[in-house]
Structure 1
């Protein structure tokens, strides 16, 4: 599963991505080989969209949803907008859980 974290291009999203990677690594149920994480600025989302399974949107670009939706909707990519509190705590476990739930919901709609 490829999870793309989309932000304004800052360092903090890479920190959140690392927290998500650590969650997978330390999990008894999840396998690192099943996950790929990429952190990108929103400006290059188009180049990653074809291989994206779930999009994680940082709170600092939540206002760009009108720009993001037309890019991801043709591919039926589910997305999660991370709230400020979760982002501030760099709570990768919560973000990963939300991403997995959204992917599962999307799969059930097929």
Structure 2
């Protein structure tokens, strides 16, 4: 099972995306755990996750989070996928980052 941390400014808007990602992963029989957290929480728990994805609203902190977790894939979700709540595109991004 892969663990995906979604990060936004308060952990609220990204939580809506969690259901879409879980649904898309289920269709692919890809076992995941997904949680949405705030950027401040991510700094404390990032090491517990396989991949960290930042929402567009916190993309400006990408370099800082990458530096904090150099052994983890850390990327931003593109604005289009985020805006459309495109769970399938995000699962594809995760699988690419983790080479699954």
1:52 partnered with 2:49? yes
Question: Normalising by the residue count of structure 2, what TM-score does the alignment of the two structures yield?
Answer: 0.88
What is the DSSP-based 3-state SS (H/G/I as helix, E as strand, rest coil) of the residue aligned with 1:9?
coil
Residue 10 of structure 1, CA deviation = 4.4
- Structure 2 runs not aligned, ≥5 long: none
What residue number does 2:91 align with?
A: 96
Maintained 8 Å contact 1:80/1:98: no
What is the DSSP-based 3-state SS (H/G/I as helix, E as strand, rest coil) of the residue aligned with 1:43?
helix
Maintained 8 Å contact 1:82/1:95: yes
- Structure 1 runs not aligned, ≥5 long: 106-110
Which has the greater radius of gyration? 1
Higher normalized helix content (fraction of residues): 1
Superposition pairs of residues 6-85 of structure 1, within 5 angstroms: 6-27=7-28, 30-31=29-30, 34-73=31-70, 76-85=71-80
| Number of matched pairs | 99
What residue number does 1:108 align with?
A: none
Question: Normalising by the residue count of structure 1, what TM-score does the alignment of the two structures yield?
Answer: 0.81
CA RMSD between the two structures: 1.6
Which of structure 1's runs of 4+ aligned residues deviate more than 4 A? Answer: none
